[in-house]
Amino acid sequence: MNANGMLCGYMVRHMKVDSFVVHVVNCVKHQLEEFDRASTFFMDFYTNFFLFYGKVFGKTFQIIMTFAEAEELTAESPYVLDRWHSS
């Protein structure tokens, strides 16, 4: 039985999109800190978009994801958010 998959599926169906995105961001942040102790990763939530920014492996990044994109991605699969990248 894939307990993690079941739990993630349950969370995406029963949590608000912004709460689920915060959960995924915290998981990604934890993973990045394991790979690069000097990494920084932040998220700001606005009315209709999320702003992700920080520095990982010496490179600064900034990514914007709209609320609609987050809703669409979570409807597709609970695992899409942590694999998503802006075009």
What is the extent of the structural domain holding 19? 3-83
SS3 content of the chain, % helix, strand, coil (to 5): 50, 25, 25
Tell me which residue has tokens 């958010």: 81
Please give the pLDDT value at position 73: 83
Paired residues of 43 in beta bridges: 52
pTM: 0.72
Over the chain (87 residues), what is each successive 10-residue block's mean pLDDT? Answer: 51 70 84 92 91 94 92 77 60
Helices (H) and strands (E) in the chain, counts: 3, 3
Q: How many independent structural domains does the chain possess?
A: 1
Please give the pLDDT value at position 11: 60
How big is the chain, counted in residues? Answer: 87
Please give the pLDDT value at position 4: 56
Please give the pLDDT value at position 12: 57
